[in-house]
Amino acid sequence: MSSPLHNQIEQAYAELERSQAALAGVQEELDGAETTVTSKNRAITVTVNSRGDLVDIKFLTRSYRTMPAAELATLLIDTIAEARAKAQAAVAATFQSVLPAGMSALDMINGTVDFDSMMREAIRMANEPFPGEEATDRRESGDGR
């Protein structure tokens, strides 16, 4: 026999399975992702992976040989920083498709999400009655939910 609660549990489980499959797809997509950026003077390119780890540097010209060390260092640092920023934006855009509406993947990556507020909202929603259920405070009913 199928009850409304049973149907809701089945729907929630199906949604969980869809979410897990979507996350697995995102992870697979990111596993091989790389971002390559060419320096402003076209002397070098740098490549980073989806985690922002440096995986390659290519010198496109021989100008680095006559460049002062500080200039070359700045060129490398700036180009790597740009590649990491672009990779981070790409990761955020990829994850955005599996996040709830209104949640920013870039904010999560940057650490600017208020997780305490998110948890309070999740708890509030969990304490809302199911459709057709009486509106009572479950914490007061003693069932621990």
**Taking the model in full, what pTM does it have?**
0.63
How far apart CA 80 and CA 35 sit, in angstroms, is 10
Closest CA to 98 of 44, 6, 37, 30: 30
17, two tokens:
């399975």
Q: Residue 76: CB partners within 8 Å, gap ≥ 6?
A: 44, 46, 57
For the chain, the C-alpha Rg in angstroms (whole number) is 24
Closest CA to 37 of 61, 16, 56: 56
How far apart CA 107 and CA 120 sit, in angstroms, is 18
Sign of CA dihedral 138, 139, 144, 145: positive
- For 117-130, what is each residue's pLDDT tens digit? 777 777 877 777 76
Residue with tokens 């006559």: 66
- For 1-35, what is each residue's pLDDT tens digit? 567 777 888 887 788 888 788 778 778 878 889 99
- For 36-82, what is each residue's pLDDT tens digit? 999 999 999 999 998 899 999 999 999 999 999 999 999 999 999 99
